[in-house]
Amino acid sequence: MAGRCPMSSRRGFLAALGSAAAAAGAGPQVRAAIPDNSAKAERGITPPSQGEGHGRALIEPFAGDHQGGIATALQSHTYMLAFDLTTKSVEDVVRLMKLWTLAAARMTAGETAAPLDTDRSAPAADSGDALGLAPARLTVTFGFGPGLFMSAEQDRYGLAAYRPEALVDLPPFTGDQLQEARTGGDLSVQACADDPQVAFHAARQLARLAQGIAQIRWAQTGFAANFAAEETPRNLMGFKDGTQNPIARKPLEKTAETGVRSNPGSLEDVVWVAEEGPDWMQGGSYMVVRRIRIALEHWDATPVDFQEETIGRHKDSGAPIGGTSEFDPLDLDATDADGNPLIAEHAHVRMAAAASNDGAEMLRRSYSYNDGVSFTAERWPPWRQGMMYDAGLLFMCYQRDPRTSFIKIFGPMSQFDMLNQYATHVGGGLFACPGGVRPGEFIGQKLFEAALGTTAVAAVEAKPLAPHAAGDKTRY
C-alpha cells in the first residue's frame, strides 16, 4: 500500500481522470459530482481501483452497485463517526444526505469537499489540510441507525414504517460494558484511506456539513499494518485476523458430520442484501461495529501455548492447531492421543466457525485502535487495576441480516469464548448501509422517496445551512 504519489495536487487527480466536478447544488448537480465508475465487477466486489501509479495514487470508485469501504481491499487507516440527528425536519436530513454524497464523491476522486472560492473574507468551503495529498484509496461508507427511524418512541421524520426488520436493537451480551458515550447513533460515517490525514480530512468535512442538522456522538480512529496485499493482517495480539472471511481465500472446515467442505458463503450469500430487504437496502449491508478493549498487559504475560489454545491457531503461521499453514482445513473433530480436541472446545476460531453456527458467516473488516492509556479495572483474574493501554480492536462486520449472522454467532461467544478473559466490549452500534449510488443519485434516496415522494425529495436543495456566526473580526 505504500508508495509516493507521482502527482502532487489533489485537483490533478480528478483532472487526470478527465472528470470535472460541479458546485454543490440540487438535482442535476448531484449527477455532475459523482464520477461514473460503476462498471459491474464479478461477484459483486467493488470495481477495481483507478489511477496512475500504485498505493496512495489510486482512486476507489464512489458510484456503483455497492458502497465503497465494504468489499474494498482494507486500507491502512480509518476514521469512524456516529452522529445524533438534532433537526426536527426530514427535509434537513435529505439535504444532509445530498451534501454528504456530493462531498464524498469529490473527496474520493481527489478533490476538495466543495469548490474553493476566491473570497478570502468568508470561511473556506474546505479546511485545506489534504491539499497536495493523493486520494490514498479513500472510501466513505454511510449508515443509518435505528434512531433515524424511531427515537425515544417518536417517529420524528415519518420513517418508522420503513425501518427494515433486520435493523434490530442489538441485545445485551454477556460481559458487555458498553459506555453510552461510545454507543449507538442515528447516522454513521466511516472514512478509510491509506493516509490517516486523508481519512480524517474526509470525516472532518462531512461533520462540518452536518452543522445545524446533526452532531457527533462518538468517533474512533483505527489502523491496520501495511502487510502485503495477499497476506492476512495481524491484530495487536499478534495473530492473523480475517483468515475465514468470505472475501478471502476459503479455508476448508472439516467436521465428522459433513466431511470436508468449503465455507458456504460468497459475498452474495453473506454480505449483500437482496430481495429479502426493502428496495433501498438491496445491494447494501448491515454493519455491526464494536469497540473491543483488549487487556494487552495481561495478554503479553500469557504463555504463547495458552495464547494459541485460546485462539485455536498457531501464532507464527496462522495455521489451525494441528495444521501447518494458514489456510489448512479447520478440522474441528481432530483429537490428540488422549482423545482431547486439538482445537479447544471454547477456542475462538471454533466458536466463530460457520460449522459451529449452522453455517452463519459475516465479513469482518476490522482495525486496531490505540487511544493511549486510562484507568482500568480488569474483570478477570488477576483483577488488576491501574493505568493500562486503552487499545484493542475496532471490530466491524457486514452481513445480509445481523440476526442470523453477528447476533447468532456472538451470543454463544460472549458466554464461552476463551478470549473473553482478555477482551471487553465497550461501545459500538448497528447501522444499515444502503446500496450504492449511480450518477445523479444520493445515498438513501430510495428510502426518502418512498416516504416523502419523488417530487418533495427533488425539491430539497443540496445547500448547507447557514454556519454559526464567526468571531468579531474587529477584535483583530
pLDDT average, residue stretch 437-453: 97
> How many distinct structural domains can be found in the chain?
2
CA distance 369 to 321: 28
Catalogue the E-assigned strands of 86-226.
139-144, 187-193, 214-223
Residues 219 and 323 in one domain: no
Query: Cell 482495525 identifies what position?
Result: 367
Residues 196 and 287 in one domain: no
Q: Which residue in 122, 170, 174 sits closest to 146, CA to CA?
A: 170
Cell of 370: 490505540
Confidence of residue 50 (pLDDT cuts 50, 70, 90): low
Handedness of CA 411, 415, 417, 423 (dihedral sign): positive
pLDDT of residue 20 exceeding 60: no
Residues 30 and 101 in one domain: yes
pLDDT average, residue stretch 387-394: 97
Report percent pLDDT > 70 for the chain. Answer: 82
Please tell me the predicted confidence (pLDDT) of residue 254.
64
pLDDT average, residue stretch 241-245: 87
Considering the domain boundaries, does residue 206 fall inside one?
yes
Q: Which ranges in 215-335 belong to alpha helices (H)?
A: 267-270, 296-300, 304-311
Please tell me the predicted confidence (pLDDT) of residue 8.
35
Considering the domain boundaries, does residue 43 fall inside one?
yes
pLDDT average, residue stretch 413-430: 98
Considering the domain boundaries, does residue 390 fall inside one?
yes
Confidence of residue 383 (pLDDT cuts 50, 70, 90): confident
Range of the domain at 296: 252-433
pLDDT tens sequence across 83-101: 999 999 999 999 999 999 9
Please tell me the predicted confidence (pLDDT) of residue 208.
97
Peptide bond into 341 cis (omega under 30): no
pLDDT average, residue stretch 69-76: 95
Q: Which ranges in 164-316 belong to alpha helices (H)?
A: 196-209, 267-270, 296-300, 304-311
392: DSSP letter: E
Please tell me the predicted confidence (pLDDT) of residue 226.
84
Q: How many beta carbons lie within 10 A of that of residue 303, not counting itself? A: 8
Residues 275 and 366 in one domain: yes
Residues 335 and 447 in one domain: no
Considering the domain boundaries, does residue 159 fall inside one?
no
CA-based R_g, the chain, Å: 23
Mean pLDDT for all residues in the chain: 86
Phi, psi of 377 (to 5 degrees): -115, 115
**CA-based angle 217:218:223, to the nearest 5?**
155
One-letter amino acid of 302: T
Please tell me the predicted confidence (pLDDT) of residue 344.
98
Please tell me the predicted confidence (pLDDT) of residue 49.
52
Considering the domain boundaries, does residue 256 fall inside one?
yes
Q: How many beta carbons lie within 10 A of that of residue 385, not counting itself? A: 9
Q: Which residue in 290, 293, 309, 248 sits closest to 410, CA to CA?
A: 290
Lowest mean pLDDT among 43-47, 52-56, 111-115, 418-422: 43-47
Q: How many beta carbons lie within 10 A of that of residue 79, not counting itself? A: 25
Burial 248-257 (b: 16+ CB within 10 A, else e): bebbebbbee
Residues 377 and 442 in one domain: no
Residues 316 and 366 in one domain: yes
More confident residue, 361 or 379: 361
Confidence of residue 38 (pLDDT cuts 50, 70, 90): very low
Please tell me the predicted confidence (pLDDT) of residue 253.
63
Considering the domain boundaries, does residue 55 fall inside one?
no
pLDDT of residue 106 exceeding 60: yes
pLDDT tens sequence across 328-344: 989 999 999 999 999 99
CA distance 190 to 78: 7
Confidence of residue 57 (pLDDT cuts 50, 70, 90): low
CA distance 211 to 194: 27
pLDDT average, residue stretch 167-186: 97
- Find out whether 320 and 312 touch, Cβ atoms under 8 Å: yes
CA distance 279 to 399: 17
- Find out whether 155 and 162 touch, Cβ atoms under 8 Å: no
Please tell me the predicted confidence (pLDDT) of residue 6.
34
pLDDT average, residue stretch 278-295: 98
Residues 405 and 316 in one domain: yes
Please tell me the predicted confidence (pLDDT) of residue 467.
62
Please tell me the predicted confidence (pLDDT) of residue 317.
95
The CA–CA distances, whole Å, from 231 to 70, 73, 236, 444 equal 18, 12, 16, 35
pLDDT of residue 2 exceeding 80: no
pLDDT of residue 166 exceeding 50: yes
pLDDT tens sequence across 255-278: 566 554 444 578 999 999 999 999
Please tell me the predicted confidence (pLDDT) of residue 257.
60
pLDDT average, residue stretch 274-285: 98
Residues 284 and 346 in one domain: yes
Please tell me the predicted confidence (pLDDT) of residue 446.
98
pLDDT of residue 293 exceeding 80: yes
CA distance 441 to 27: 8
Please tell me the predicted confidence (pLDDT) of residue 250.
55
pLDDT of residue 243 exceeding 90: no
Query: Cell 458515550 identifies what position?
Result: 181
pLDDT tens sequence across 208-234: 999 999 999 999 999 998 877 778 889
The CA–CA distances, whole Å, from 291 to 187, 260, 343, 371 equal 17, 35, 27, 11
Considering the domain boundaries, does residue 4 fall inside one?
no
Please tell me the predicted confidence (pLDDT) of residue 197.
98
- Find out whether 445 and 437 touch, Cβ atoms under 8 Å: yes
Residues 365 and 460 in one domain: no
CA distance 354 to 442: 36
pLDDT average, residue stretch 185-189: 98
Residues 457 and 412 in one domain: no
Please tell me the predicted confidence (pLDDT) of residue 247.
60
CA distance 122 to 116: 11
Considering the domain boundaries, does residue 472 fall inside one?
no
Residues 129 and 105 in one domain: yes
Report percent pLDDT > 90 for the chain. Answer: 75
